[in-house]
Amino acid sequence: FFFQAEDGIRDFCLSRGLGDVYKRQTWGGDEEAFQQIRPILQAYSIEQILFGGPGSGQSTKATMQILLASSLYGTCEGLIYAGRAGLNQQKVVEIIKDGAAKCYALSFYGLSLIHI
CA triplet 85, 86, 91: central angle to 5 degrees?
Answer: 105
Distance, CA of 109 to CA of 99 (rounded, Å)? 16
Q: Strand 13-15 and strand 2-5: pairing?
A: unpaired
Catalytic entry in 61, 91, 97, 102: 61
Distance, CA of 108 to CA of 86 (rounded, Å)? 23
Residue 61 a catalytic site member:
yes
Catalytic residues: 61
